[in-house]
Amino acid sequence: MTDSPAVRIPLDPKEQPILDSLLSVRTKLELLKQDRSTYVKSQDVLDLYEKVVEQVVILNEIRTTKRLEQNRVDTVLDDCFQLISLAYMTVGKNHEAPAVYSFLSTAKRLLDHLKEATFYSPKDLESIGGRLQDCRRYISRGKESYSPHLLTLLDARLELCEKTLAELELTLSLLTPDLSPKYDKLVSILRSLSACNTRSKFPNAEVDEYLEQLKQLQEELREYGIHAFESTGTKEEKLAEMTEKLQIAMAHPEPAPEAKKLIETLLQRCFVWVALAKSKQGRISPAFQDTYDKLLGIKNKLEKISLTQAWSLRETDLWSFQRQLDRVDEARVDGNFLDLLGRPAEIYEQRTLLYLLRKSYATIYHLIVSSEPVSEALLPIYNQLTTLRKCLLDVKKLGGVSSPRELYPYSMKLNSIDNMRVDGKFMVGNEIPDGQGSVTQLLEECFELAYELRNEAEENESGE
C-alpha cells in the first residue's frame, strides 16, 4: 500500500487504463525492491522504465489541452518514477538521467524548507548547488538515450531547484566576511537546540551551554549594532512577549533582509528557542504526539541506516520513507501542522516537528548523494576493497611495515578478489553488473598501495 498524498480530482475515464497500467508497474517495482533473495537486475529495471514511458506518451496525447491536470494518475506516476530512479541507483546507474528524478524531488523539498526556515548555512547551498550542476550534466548526456518526455520533466524540476537556490544564495550574499562566521554559528546553535528537544531525556546542561554561547555572540555583535530585543516584566511575560514578536516576524518574513536584520532576527530566535525549550523540557502537546512519534521514528530509522549504509542500504528502501515524509509535509496548511480539530500547532510544537521533518529529508539527501555508482551485486566486493584500502592507507600513515611478510594477509585477499574476474570483468551469474570501472579502479589502487609498502619494507631490510 502506498503512502502517497491523496489526490481527489476526478479521473478522466480515458485515463483509467493508464492508471491501471501504472498501478501494475508500481506493484512490480515494489515487489522488486522487497525481494532480498536476489539482486535487482538492470534489465528488469529498464523493462519497467520503458512501460512507464509508454504510459507517459499516451497521457500527454490525452492531455493536449489540459497540461496542468493533476489527479491520481500523476500521483502513481510520480511513485513509479521515484522507484525507478532509486532502482537505477541500486543497479549502479547513478549517473543516468532517470536516477536524477529522486534526487531532484528530495533537493526541491530541502530547498523549499530552507526558504521557509529563512536561516541556513552556506554549506547547505554549496552541497545542493554542486549536485544540481551534476544533474544538468547527466540530463544533457541522456538526450540520445532517454525519452524526451522524461528529460523535459527532469529539466523543469531542475530549473525550479536552480531558481530557489539562486534566491537563497542572494540572501546570504548580503553577509559581510566578518559576519558570516557568526551567522553560521547561530544557525548551528539553532539546529542543535532543536535536536535537544527530541532527546529521550532533555539535556538541560547542554542547553545552558548554548545559552552562554549566545550571550557571548550577542556581546560580539553589539559592535555591529546588532542585539536581541529587550523586554521588561516577569520571566513568563518576557517569554510571551518574545514569542509573540517572533511569531509576527515568522508570519511576515522579509524577501531579502539586510545582513544586520538577518542576524538580529536569528539571534532573537535563538534566545526565544532556548527559553521555550527550557520551559517545555521536551514535552509535546498530546494533540501532536502521534505526528511527533511518527517523525521521530522515521528520523531514527534513517540515521541508523546511514551508519551502516555501505553494507545494508538498497536505495529503493528510501522510497517508503520519502512517501511518509511527503504525506506529513503536504498535510500542513499554510506551513502549519494542524491537530484533528484543524487548529494550528503552537510555536514549540511547530518548530520541533519541522526540525524532525527537515532532518529526515536531509538524511535521505545524504544517503542519495553518498550512494556509490556500483550495482548492489558488486557492493560486497566494493565494500571489502574500500575496507582494504582504508587499512593499507592507515598502515602507510603509521610508517609502513617492517617486513614484506606483514603484507601477506592483504595480498592474499587482493589476489582472491582479483581471481574472481572473468576476462577482466566481475560477473554475477551470466550478468556483468554496472560499476565495473569503480571496482576495478579501487582494486588497482589497493594493489598499488600494497606494492609501495612492500618496496619500502624491502628497501629498509636491504639497508639494515
The pLDDT tens digits for 395-406 are 999 888 888 888
pLDDT (0 to 100) of residue 67: 60
Dist. CA 100–CA 130, nearest whole Å: 13
Residue 2 located in a structural domain: yes
Q: Retrieve residue 208's grid coordinates.
A: 545552558
Residue 86 located in a structural domain: yes
**Are the C-beta atoms of residues 241 and 233 closer than 8 Å to each other?**
yes
pLDDT at 139 exceeding the cut of 70: yes
> Residue 180: which residues within 8 A CB-CB, separation 6 or more?
122
Which of the residue ranges 54-58, 129-133, 136-140, 247-251 would you say has the lowest mean pLDDT? 247-251
Q: How many angstroms separate the Cα of 60 from the Cα of each of 119, 221, 299, 361?
A: 40, 56, 37, 31
pLDDT at 353 exceeding the cut of 70: yes
**Are the C-beta atoms of residues 383 and 310 closer than 8 Å to each other?**
yes
Between 66 and 55, the higher pLDDT residue: 55
Residue 88 located in a structural domain: yes
Last residue of a domain, one of 258, 280, 302: 280
Which of the four pLDDT bands, split at 50, 70 and 90, describes residue 226?
Answer: confident
Q: What is the pTM of this model?
A: 0.86
Residue 361 located in a structural domain: no
pLDDT tens for 161-177 read 999 999 999 988 888 88
pLDDT at 379 exceeding the cut of 50: yes
Which of the residue ranges 97-106, 222-231, 411-420 would you say has the lowest mean pLDDT? 222-231
Which of the residue ranges 61-75, 166-180, 269-283 would you say has the lowest mean pLDDT? 61-75
Mean pLDDT of the chain, nearest integer: 87
DSSP structure class, residue 264: H
Which of the four pLDDT bands, split at 50, 70 and 90, describes residue 237?
Answer: very low
- Per DSSP bridges, beta strands 421-422 and 425-426 are antiparallel
Which of the four pLDDT bands, split at 50, 70 and 90, describes residue 458?
Answer: confident
pLDDT (0 to 100) of residue 118: 85
Where do runs of H (alpha helix) occur along 235-317? 235-251, 259-280, 289-307, 309-312
Residue 299 located in a structural domain: no
Which of 100, 97, 17, 86 has its CA nearest to residue 55? 17
Between 72 and 229, the higher pLDDT residue: 72
pLDDT tens for 10-35 read 577 888 999 999 999 999 999 998 88
DSSP structure class, residue 317: G
Residue 434 located in a structural domain: yes
Last residue of a domain, one of 67, 93, 119: 93
How many CA atoms are closer than 13 Å to the CA of 98, on its beta-carbon side?
A: 26
Residue 458 located in a structural domain: yes
In this prediction, residues 216-227 reach a mean pLDDT of 86
Q: Retrieve residue 392's grid coordinates.
A: 593499507
DSSP structure class, residue 425: E
Domain residue limits at 394: 379-463
Which of 239, 314, 302, 247 has its CA nearest to residue 36? 314
Dist. CA 437–CA 440, nearest whole Å: 5
pLDDT tens for 293-338 read 999 999 999 999 988 766 667 888 899 999 999 999 999 999 999 9
Q: Map residue 421 onto helix, strand or coil.
A: strand
**Are the C-beta atoms of residues 135 and 81 closer than 8 Å to each other?**
no
Last residue of a domain, one of 280, 297, 318: 280
Q: Map residue 265 onto helix, strand or coil.
A: helix
Dist. CA 446–CA 265, nearest whole Å: 52
* H or E stretch covering 172: helix 148-172
Residue 267 located in a structural domain: yes
pLDDT (0 to 100) of residue 381: 93
Q: What would the 3-class secondary structure string for 385-400 be? A: HHHHHHHHHHHHHCCC
Number of folded domains in the chain? 3
